[in-house]
Amino acid sequence: MAQTSKKLVLGITGGIAAYKSAELVRLLVKSNIDVQVVMTESATKFITPITMQALSGKPVFVGMWDGGVGNGMPHIELSRDADAILIAPASAEFIAKLVHGRADDLLSTLCLARDCPLLVAPAMNKQMWENPATQRNIAQLKKDGVSILGPDTGDQACGEVGLGRMLEAEDLLVLVNAHFTPKLLAGKRVLITAGGTLEMIDPVRAITNLSSGKMGYAIAQAASDMGAEVTLVSGATSLAAPKSVNNIRATSSDAMYQAVMSNIAKQDIFIGVAAVADYSPTEQSTQKIKKSTASHSLELTLNKDILAEVANLPNAPFCVGFAAESENLLEYAEAKRQAKKLPLIVANLVAEAMGSDENSVTLLDKNGSHPLPRAPKIEIARQLLQYVANML
Ligand code: C5P
């Protein structure tokens, strides 16, 4: 079920943002995308082909007459082989050339000869971006079916501040991955809880747990890539939420319960990934508790089980639970699935999952168990959601 490797031509044009393309290539390759770099002559003034070759693991093409590809027809060969072309950075000049279908170097020629989607990440000074000529060109490219990624706003290399910066490499990676992901959840609304919870004892002390939020955030990103409208209820985590989701912060189990219940109507899928505290202090002191006795006991009250309550709603969405166990994994997880009346539960060992960037899980449904071998959490998230899409 793992995604097969996609082929991307990364076109680099002349702009100072070309330095970000080195990091982008590294991230794309790490994300299992096969990258062929093609540079314009101007781009080589900002970053060398040797750098890009070392990072992509492949020779870089610059000139129209460079040998070695497709019987002297690299523009045809390279574009036929690609699943998409991304131009990052795309200079104002290159964008203007694309609009007019000009073909006076290898990169512009292979864009014209392409039979695959074209993605363009503009990078230029804010005056150049705001110029009506550039805005007309961008509008025309959109009409022609080209995807425009960014630009971002902020500090510019020229010292000015405004719109025109190229998106960061991490943001471009997310958009490229989303582009390559089949839209299996298009039109679906998905609500996800993620992270641990923080149950305050007094203004400075709390009960919490070691959940990092990485698995829930990966599922939120993957669901959004698959076309879903995602609401993420984030507990105690320091992670930055994916930009494409509606993120609601709710650190205590009670706040998480309220956030879920006020957003559950009209959801198609609910995935409870959060490590919600089972108990909270019965009373929360408004002032810092002073040490006065040799021992101190804390009375705890059982929290509401958010997942079980959602699964028992009259028009319950499709509910997926997580079971993090330290022993008897499958037995405990299946018992939870049945007790909470869930169609699907994801079983993982605490030692494998918590805090790690990778995970190995077993999906349990009424038909039995389905193991997903150890992989990065984003990959586990994709496979889980493909399974959910099939069940739906
Ligand atoms: O019973 P246990 O806490 O092990 O169940 C784990 C599953 O239930 C997870 O999906 C978790 O998000 C959810 N849960 C919840 N509310 C609670 C406790 C657990 O939604 N109070």
Q: In the listed set 180, 214, 247, which residue is the last one of a domain according to the structure?
A: 180
Q: What is the pLDDT of residues 56-74, one digit of tens each?
A: 999 999 988 776 665 666 6
Confidence (pLDDT) at 75? 63
DSSP tag of 275:
B
Count the domains in the chain. Answer: 2
Dist. CA 93–CA 235, nearest whole Å:
46
Centre of ligand 1 from the C-alpha of residue 310, in Å: 11
Q: Are residues 223 and 152 in the same domain?
A: no
Q: In the listed set 149, 180, 211, which residue is the last one of a domain according to the structure?
A: 180
Atom of ligand 1 nearest to the CA of 307: 20
Q: Are 235 and 213 in contact (CB under 8 A)?
A: yes
CATH value at residue 165 = 3.40.50.1950
291 part of a folded domain: no
Domain hosting 40: range is 6-180
Centre of ligand 1 from the C-alpha of residue 288, in Å: 30
Q: Are residues 145 and 263 in the same domain?
A: no
Q: What's CA 341's distance to the chain center, in Å?
A: 30
Centre of ligand 1 from the C-alpha of residue 153, in Å: 40
Atom of ligand 1 nearest to the CA of 323: 6
Q: Are 135 and 99 in contact (CB under 8 A)?
A: no
Dist. CA 264–CA 241, nearest whole Å:
20
| Residue 303 parent element (H or E) | none
Q: In the listed set 157, 180, 203, which residue is the last one of a domain according to the structure?
A: 180
Set 111, 116, 158, 319: catalytic member: 158
b/e per residue, 241-255, with b = 16+ CB within 10 A?
Answer: bbebbebbebbbbbb
60 part of a folded domain: yes
Q: What is the pLDDT of residues 73-129, one digit of tens each?
A: 666 777 778 999 999 999 999 999 999 999 999 999 999 999 999 999 999 999 999
% of the chain residues with pLDDT over 90: 88
1 part of a folded domain: no
Centre of ligand 1 from the C-alpha of residue 304, in Å: 9
351 part of a folded domain: yes
pTM: 0.88
Atom of ligand 1 nearest to the CA of 321: 10
381 part of a folded domain: yes
Q: What is the pLDDT of residues 331-348, one digit of tens each?
A: 999 999 999 999 999 999
Q: What is the dihedral of CA 319, 324, 330, 331, to 10 degrees?
A: -90
DSSP tag of 5:
P
Ligand 1 pocket, mutate which of 198, 234, 251, 305 (most atoms under 8 A from CB) = 305
- Which whole number is the average pLDDT over 354-360? 89
Q: Are residues 203 and 62 in the same domain?
A: no
Neighbouring residues of 270: CB distance < 8 A, sequence distance ≥ 6? 190, 191, 192, 260, 264, 307, 310, 311, 316, 317, 318, 319, 320
Q: Are residues 234 and 378 in the same domain?
A: yes
Confidence (pLDDT) at 158? 76
- As beta bridge partners, residue 9 has 36, 85
Atom of ligand 1 nearest to the CA of 271: 10
Dist. CA 359–CA 373, nearest whole Å:
8
- Going by alpha carbons, the residue nearest to atom 21 of ligand 1 is 305
Centre of ligand 1 from the C-alpha of residue 384, in Å: 18
Q: What is the pLDDT of residues 162-198, one digit of tens each?
A: 899 999 999 999 999 999 999 999 999 999 999 999 9
- Going by alpha carbons, the residue nearest to atom 12 of ligand 1 is 272
Centre of ligand 1 from the C-alpha of residue 269, in Å: 16
Q: Are residues 372 and 257 in the same domain?
A: yes
Q: Is the pLDDT of residue 297 over 70?
A: yes
Dist. CA 205–CA 289, nearest whole Å:
9
Q: Is 158 a catalytic residue?
A: yes
The encoded tokens of residue 336 equal 């939870």
Atom of ligand 1 nearest to the CA of 324: 4
Q: Are 277 and 303 in contact (CB under 8 A)?
A: yes
CATH value at residue 328 = 3.40.50.10300
Q: What's CA 305's distance to the chain center, in Å?
A: 28
290 part of a folded domain: no
Residues with CB under 6 A from ligand 1: 193, 253, 272-274, 276, 303, 305-307, 321-323, 336
Dist. CA 95–CA 272, nearest whole Å:
44
